[in-house]
Amino acid sequence: MSRKPNAIIFGGLNTCSRALAALLVPADGAERLVEHLRIVDKYSVAPPTTYLGSVFPEVLKQPNVEYRQANLTVASTVSSCFEPPAGQAPYDYVFDFTGEIQWDRPEAVQITHTFKIARLIGLEAARRKVPAYVRIQHPFYQCKESGSHDEKEDVKPEGVMGTWWHETLRALGAIPDLNLVIVRTALPYGPYVNYHAVVPFIAVAACYGYLKQPMKAVNSPGKYPSHTVHVDDIAGAMWACAEWMAKIGRKEADAIAGEEIPFKNEKSKVDEVEGMVPHNQKVIAPLFNIEDDSKVTLVELGNVIASYFGTTFDFHNFVTNMAAKFRLEDVIEDINEVHVSTWTKMITTSNPPVPNTQFSSYMDVYCLKKRVVAFSADKIKNVVGYTLKRPHFNHETVGEMVEKLKAEHSWPNNDP
């Protein structure tokens, strides 16, 4: 290709598509990777109806970058999003971050907002023969506590959300000639990331650091994998996979990196949901994990974060002692009481005060549940040749995140 590719990003403003946009079209003057970039999501960006962070609005100001607010449940809308602006070549790369990430939404919402939207985008991308279609897969699984943690390991989709995100991979994988690559991530963190469980965990640690008390967690003794990945590596991996796929196409990609995406749903759903792939149809698609090299356990994760804030990490005895009697749902408010009131104090007495921050130390049941996450990144390193930008989860990477949030006034600054 003599020109740079054109790319379109669907969804994910509330997860990690902003980091990819900033990689493709840096706002700091670094060389851009794409000619034209379109980003499509359901949110408004001016005024913002979701947290955007301070960098993304600068990306949108760059030349040949377009944001479009759209209802992607409508097939004709999806199709129109693929029409490039006048004078531009058709899109070369499609990055699909769409899907509902709130774990407690009903199944019907998951089917419409996760399964259906991705399938519409995938069908349209296949129809237009887009050279690369990269789909994100969040860590909505329970992994095994030990083993190789590679892409062949059998992992269990978690709950309604996990089930439909996984089902979406089958639907996309079954679309003939879709140049699909799936990137499956460990626990995400990094600047301007405000989804999943690591970020509230960091806010809670900040509270206990402020109180000068040990941080207490549930799920003792926490010796299970809680592997992390920096958002820059999620973005980097997705870009690397697009370049890899565009050169070889789906058939060769399946031969080199295809994995079976097993059926994990109820068989009765197949007749109820349009586009669902029958349980006995084998689906193969290129799949790559991405995680950092730290491969931390929950205890190690807690130790890194707590020590960054000058405190220590420990476990709630009352929860572990009573685990047989009480459900997490019943003790959730007790667990949150101290650190939520502390966070409120921190953001209101901060210099400057940041009372409207979208970051919170509230830990919901989903955040607190034991979740084993381990997705070895050996395959993407060996097959695609990807090199991690942020291989370690440590004080430096946690500190970079906190300092950038302080600088945009979305994290409390309570330094004396």
Ligand X SMILES: *[C@@H]1O[C@H](CO)[C@@H](O)[C@H](O)[C@H]1NC(C)=O
Note the residues at the interface with ligand X (CB under 6 A): 71, 73-74
Nearer residue to ligand X within complex by CB, 75 or 367: 75
Residue carrying structure tokens 């989709």: 157
Nearer residue to ligand X within complex by CB, 108 or 324: 108
Terminal Cα-to-Cα distance of the chain (whole angstroms):
55
Smallest separation (angstroms) from ligand X to the CB of 22: 26
Nearer residue to ligand X within complex by CB, 42 or 392: 42
For ligand X, the nearest residue by Cβ is 71
φ, ψ for residue 259 (rounded to 5)?
-130, 150
Who's near 175: CB < 8 A, 6+ residues apart? 119, 122, 123, 126
Query: How would you label 342-364 residue by residue, b for 16+ Cβ within 10 Å and e otherwise?
Result: bbeebbeebeeebeebebbbebb
- Give the residue among 298, 284, 300 at the shortest CA–CA distance from 371: 298
φ, ψ for residue 230 (rounded to 5)?
-75, 145
DSSP string, 1-55: --SPPPEEEES-TTTTHHHHHHHHS-TTSPPPS-S-EEEEESS-BTTBSS--TTT
Smallest separation (angstroms) from ligand X to the CB of 77: 8
Nearer residue to ligand X within complex by CB, 44 or 281: 44
Query: How would you label 214-235 residue by residue, b for 16+ Cβ within 10 Å and e otherwise?
Result: ebbbbbbebebbbbbbbbbbbb
Smallest separation (angstroms) from ligand X to the CB of 41: 12
**Distance in angstroms (rounded) separating the CA atoms of residues 328 and 326:** 7
The total of other beta-carbon atoms located within 10 Å of residue 28's CB is: 8
Smallest separation (angstroms) from ligand X to the CB of 46: 18
Do residues 243 and 204 touch, judged by C-beta distance below 8 A? no
Smallest separation (angstroms) from ligand X to the CB of 74: 5
Smallest separation (angstroms) from ligand X to the CB of 333: 32
Nearer residue to ligand X within complex by CB, 12 or 286: 12
Smallest separation (angstroms) from ligand X to the CB of 326: 39
Nearer residue to ligand X within complex by CB, 43 or 362: 43
236: left (phi over 0), alpha (psi -120 to 50) or beta: alpha
Nearer residue to ligand X within complex by CB, 70 or 383: 70
Do residues 182 and 95 touch, judged by C-beta distance below 8 A? no
**Distance in angstroms (rounded) separating the CA atoms of residues 348 and 234:** 33
Smallest separation (angstroms) from ligand X to the CB of 275: 16
Nearer residue to ligand X within complex by CB, 71 or 280: 71
